């Protein structure tokens, strides 16, 4: 067993051109503890750990590792000091077994590998571990929680004494998250490892973290022992205001006929992944139906089908009782809109201007619902100016290509475009991914406002908290099927988590 080490960063500064990503940031991690690194998107958390792990070279300040001043110029330096990191997105090779992944990750892999002795060595190593993963199983067939554990085992195998976990629970179910964080805490408190967790989930901080350091806009916003800090203290440090924006108010109850009715929907298998198999999915007016599920269980396919990007094999989609094929004519006739995930990649044309992008829905619409063959460039500019004003979009010029805007402003553009005018059915996928707290609140408020105004909303999200906050009804997807449905009010996250993993009954 290794022993946990202390790591200290003193007065770290890092700038990219004229942009100061970090100014005078210090971090002191006590050995054998779980340290939370908190902050919004863009606060500088990942820049700080990248400096610590040698991916960036800090412009100012220095590091003290295990009581000695350390110069970390490149990743190999951090490696030699026993510093490691588990990334948000897994870095194991899915088509190789756990044992193969572990051996390949070593610095000194021999040219000819004697697998028999390697496996024997790995088995001995695994005996000493506080939790086990199967050695002979392909990583690709492991559940997300197991993979996360394998990543941590890998770091222990590499004899790391200090480990950074980047948003470790973002891809896990609530059960998996609780289990994983419990294990991590156990490792730290047993003196094996010192752990830094990058997170923005305050519940996890309260339950599993010993100390925190909070960053805001590249500067220190505070630090301290978690037991002395309440949630409002942490929120205040993170966003500069004592309270997170309030949840938007829900008005009116779901009503009327089904706005969206999907029945018997099947899609073809896609490169070995099961296709969709949805027997029935209904969304009413004044209702948000949330689709929960572990990432990669068909949610993306469902959005693509509803958005017209993926053909269906059989079954039917109906909007307002009429067959729906996601063509432009029908989406315009029925006022169906889609907020895709990663809006710049899926919903915008990066080289075209903000004005053009804001008019993607309406450039070919004349007065009433007639088609126009000639662009109304004045009308387009006016409409775009109104949207820019109403949604507070920050753009250097309406004529700037939308690709130069920040993530939050691209999201505002897509919101403005898709919520413009009458909206009867809105399909939303992971709308808050990568946004900061204020932008998240704004986005959710707009979705709720649309629902309160009578829009039927289908919300597909990998963030269970988001679904529980917004949805009237929750449906759980597993391997392309909807395996469970329940009202969102009083829904038990643990139960939803079980269904997400395919454990029913």
Task: Give the shortest CB-340-to-other proteins separation in angstroms.
Answer: 6
CB of 262 to other proteins, least distance (A): 17
Shortest separation between residue 137's beta carbon and other proteins, angstroms? 35
Task: Quote the CA–CA distance of 286 and 198 in Å, as a whole number.
Answer: 37
The number of CA neighbours under 13 Å toward the Cβ of 192 is: 18
What is the 8-class DSSP label of residue 420?
S
Contact 312, 305 (CB under 8 A): yes
How near is the Cβ of 473 to other proteins at its closest, in Å? 18
Cα angle 229, 230, 231 (rounded to 5 degrees) comes to 125
Distances from the Cα of 332 to the Cαs of 327, 424, 434, 468, 495, in angstroms?
Answer: 8, 10, 29, 30, 39
A 10 A CB-CB count for 259 gives: 26
Q: How far is the CB of 217 from other proteins (least distance, A)?
A: 14
Q: Rounded to an integer, what distance in angstroms lies between the CA atom of residue 437 and that of residue 494?
A: 25
- Using CA atoms, how far apart are residues 347 and 340, in angstroms rounded to an integer? 6
CB of 173 or CB of 353, closer to other proteins: 353
Shortest distance (Å) from residue 260 CB to other proteins: 14
Q: In whole angstroms, how close is the CB of 280 to other proteins at the nearest point?
A: 21
Asked if residue 384 lies in contact with residue 355, where contact means CB atoms within 8 angstroms, the answer is: yes
Question: If DSSP states are collapsed to H, E and C, what string results for 29-96?
Answer: ECCCCEEEEECCCCCCHHHHHHHHCCCCCCCEEEEEECCEEECCCCHHHHHHHCEEEECCCCCCCCCC
For residues 308 and 324, what is the distance between their CA atoms, to the nearest angstrom? 10
Could you give the residue ranges of the DSSP H alpha helices within 292-327?
Answer: 299-306
Compare residues 118 and 356 and give the one whose CB is closer to other proteins: 356
Q: How far is the CB of 18 from other proteins (least distance, A)?
A: 10
Pick 68 or 374: Cβ nearer other proteins: 374
Closest contact distance (angstroms) between CB of 455 and other proteins is 5
* CB of 433 vs other proteins, minimal distance in Å: 16
Helix (H, G, I), strand (E, B) or coil at 499: helix
CA–CA gap between residue 116 and residue 17 (Å, rounded): 52
CB of 25 or CB of 303, closer to other proteins: 303
Beta strands in 270-327 (DSSP E): 277-285, 287-292, 314-319, 322-323
| Nearer of residues 110 and 396 to other proteins, judged by Cβ | 396
**Cα(106)–Cα(290) distance, integer angstroms:** 43
Q: Which is nearest to 227 in space by CA: 211, 244, 241, 242? A: 211
Nearer to other proteins by Cβ, of 46 and 395: the residue is: 395
CB of 293 to other proteins, least distance (A): 21
Question: Cα(95)–Cα(78) distance, rounded to whole angstroms?
Answer: 28
Q: Which is nearer to other proteins, 292 or 426 (CB)?
A: 426
Helix, coil or strand: residue 254: coil
Task: Report d(CA 428, CA 274) in Å as an integer.
Answer: 22
**Please, which residue, 42 or 54, has the CB nearer to other proteins?**
42
> Is 334 or 484 the residue whose CB approaches other proteins more closely?
334
Residue number with CB closer to other proteins (313 or 390): 390
Q: Which is nearer to other proteins, 2 or 362 (CB)?
A: 362
């Amino acid at each position: 067993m290794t022993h946990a080490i202390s790591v200290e960063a003193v007065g770290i500064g890092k700038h990219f051109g004229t942009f100061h990503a970090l100014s005078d940031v210090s971090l002191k991690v006590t050995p054998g503890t779980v340290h939370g690194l908190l902050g919004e998107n863009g606060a500088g958390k990942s820049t700080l750990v990248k400096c610590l792990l040698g991916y960036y070279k800090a412009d100012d300040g220095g590091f003290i590792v295990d009581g000695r001043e350390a110069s970390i110029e490149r990743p190999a330096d951090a490696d030699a000091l026993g510093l490691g990191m588990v990334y948000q997105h897994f870095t194991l090779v899915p088509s190789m077994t756990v044992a193969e992944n572990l051996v390949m990750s070593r610095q000194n892999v021999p040219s000819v590998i004697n697998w028999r002795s390697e496996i024997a060595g790995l088995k001995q190593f695994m005996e000493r571990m506080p939790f086990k993963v199967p050695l002979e199983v392909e990583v690709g067939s492991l559940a997300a929680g197991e993979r996360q554990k394998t990543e941590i085992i890998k770091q222990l195998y590499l004899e790391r004494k200090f480990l950074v976990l980047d948003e470790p629970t973002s891809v896990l179910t609530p059960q998996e998250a609780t289990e994983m964080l419990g294990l991590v805490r156990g490792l730290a408190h047993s003196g094996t490892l010192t752990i830094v967790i990058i997170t923005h989930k305050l519940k996890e901080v309260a339950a599993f973290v010993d100390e925190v350091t909070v960053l805001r806009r590249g500067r220190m916003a505070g630090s301290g022992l978690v037991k002395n800090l309440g949630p409002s203290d942490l929120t205040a440090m993170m966003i500069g205001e004592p309270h997170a924006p309030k949840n938007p108010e829900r008005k009116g109850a779901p009503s009327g006929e089904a706005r969206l009715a999907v029945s018997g929907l099947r899609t073809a298998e896609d490169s070995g992944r099961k296709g969709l198999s949805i027997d029935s999915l209904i969304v009413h007016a004044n209702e948000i139906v949330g689709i929960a599920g572990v990432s990669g269980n068909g949610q993306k396919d469902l959005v693509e089908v509803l958005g017209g990007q993926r053909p269906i094999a059989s079954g039917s989609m109906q909007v307002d009782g009429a067959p729906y094929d996601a063509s432009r004519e029908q989406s315009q006739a029925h006022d169906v809109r889609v907020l895709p995930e990663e809006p710049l990649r899926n919903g915008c044309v990066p080289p075209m201007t903000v004005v053009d992008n804001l008019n993607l829905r309406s450039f070919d619409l004349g007065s009433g619902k007639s088609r126009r063959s000639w662009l109304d460039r004045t009308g387009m500019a006016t409409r775009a100016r109104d949207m820019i004003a109403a949604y507070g979009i920050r753009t250097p010029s309406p004529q700037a290509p939308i690709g130069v805007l920040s993530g939050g402003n691209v999201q505002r553009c897509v919101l403005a475009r898709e919520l413009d005018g009458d909206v009867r059915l809105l399909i939303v996928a992971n709308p808050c991914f990568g946004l900061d707290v204020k932008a998240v609140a704004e986005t959710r408020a707009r979705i709720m406002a649309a629902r309160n105004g009578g829009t039927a909303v289908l919300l597909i999200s990998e963030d269970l908290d988001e679904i529980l906050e917004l949805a009237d009804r929750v449906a759980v997807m597993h391997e392309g099927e909807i395996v469970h449905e329940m009202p969102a009010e009083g829904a038990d996250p643990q139960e939803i988590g079980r269904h997400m993993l395919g454990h029913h009954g």
